[in-house]
A and B are shown apart, each in its own frame.
Chain A
Amino acid sequence: MFCEKAIELIRELQRMSDGQLPAFNEDGLRQILQEMESLYEQNQSDVNEAKSDGRAELIPSIKLRHCCLLRNQRCVAAYLYDRLLRIRALRWEYGSVLPANVRFHMCAEELQWFSQYKKSLASFMRSLGADGLDITQDMKPPKSLYIEVRCLKDHGEFEIDDGTVILLKKNSQHFLPRWKCEQLIRQGVLEHVMS
């Protein structure tokens, strides 16, 4: 049946429920594009025949094929666009450098889109106020000034605002200003200890 491959592509995304990014389905996309090409060629020849020989009975099948073509196009665009939205969410979650296992699932053009998105976002944030504002920080309303954090890996020395230098060693616990730790927590260097 026509369009089955396209539906399969969409289903694949739907199955990965919580915004995860499955591997880019290059093969599926190629098959859809092939199907579209053959549908288009058949339509072309039928249209020519219908015009030259006046065979009106060909028109319904031309219409059917055209609908399939449109549907395929729409499904492919939806597949690609939904992936972009997931990739966009990753920028806000992980910061500007994506983990290797996520990058592995993206195609070359997606990586390109991502780096362009990164650039647009960065120049937007730079343009705020005199020296910019990182709006990917402060994702949650601040509850307290200092938070208890545990170090999950060795990170080396870390300077806080008042000039004190502390050593972030694996498994050590610290009481640090929240605004300095948010990024490190999201990168997985620190863990917020809830008490």
Chain B
Amino acid sequence: MSDPPSDDGSDAIHDDGQDVMTPAELIAKLEEAWLNEKFSPELLENRSEVVECVMEQLTHMEANLQRVKKGDAKASMHRMEIDRIRFVLSSYLRSRLQKIERFFPHILEREKSRGEGDPSLLSPEEFAFAKEYHANTETYLKAVALKRMPPNLQTVDMLKAVPEPCLDSFVFLRVKERQENILIEPETDDQREYVVDMEEGSQHLMRYRTIAPLVSSGAVQLI
């Protein structure tokens, strides 16, 4: 979304999405986003349009359920389905929030240096949360210890103090679109860099850094 988030703007996108996407496709999208977010070491771009649609879908399903007769076997099947979807949705939002809390200085720094028109990693709500978390933690450290320290030591550089996400960790992935000439960088000094082709449907274990752009473009799925 490159537009500034205005009310009617986001509504239009939202409606379009609903017209072209069936509920099944929507849930598949959610699951894709969920798995990617769960397994990637860094925070991925927010998918708030999917989250919003799923939320709406859930409300809709709940409302439908209210109309069903008591004791209907179909009702409990639907109930179960709602529970499952809600679990995936909560788990997705939870893992994002956890990453925001763990890496907040780096995420906020990236948000600051983001060029105009570039999509934001964070949804507006997540951004508000990250800012509050940052301010809260800084105020706390200052109040308890830093303000009682010698004058030249009263600040802590959060960017240096809080660890960065480890992009070199290995991830499992499945290829959704055939990729050619993926450059694998050497791990040790006696190795040399080489290229691989990845067939559609094949599964690999490689460093996240190598395939990070493919994850965000949706060409591979983390598993």
Contact = CB atoms under 8 A, between A and B. Distances in A.
Interface of A: 29, 33, 36-37, 40, 69-70, 73-74, 76-77, 80-81, 84, 88, 107, 109-110, 112-113, 116-117, 119-121, 123-124, 127-131, 133-135, 137-138, 140-142, 144-145, 162, 177-179
Interface residues of B, number: 42
B137 A113 contact: yes
A79 to B, nearest CB: 9
A101 B103 CA distance: 30
Contact of A133 (B76, B89, B101, B133): B89
Contacts, number: 115
Contact of B156 (A77, A138, A141, A145): A77
Main SS at interface, chain A: helix
Contact of B59 (A69, A123, A129, A179): A129
A138 B133 contact: no
Interface string B81-102: 0011011011101100100010
Contact of B83 (A40, A74, A80, A178): A178
Contact of A138 (B76, B86, B139, B145): B86
B68 to A, nearest CB: 10
Given A129-B59, A133-B89, A37 B150 contact: yes
A73 B133 CA distance: 21
Interface of B: 51-52, 55-56, 58-59, 70, 76, 79-80, 83-84, 86-87, 89-91, 93-94, 97, 101, 125-126, 128-129, 132-133, 136-137, 139-141, 143-146, 148-150, 153, 156, 161
B153 A138 contact: no
A162 B72 CA distance: 12
Contacts of A88: 101
B129 A36 contact: no
B11 to A, nearest CB: 13
A80 B97 contact: no
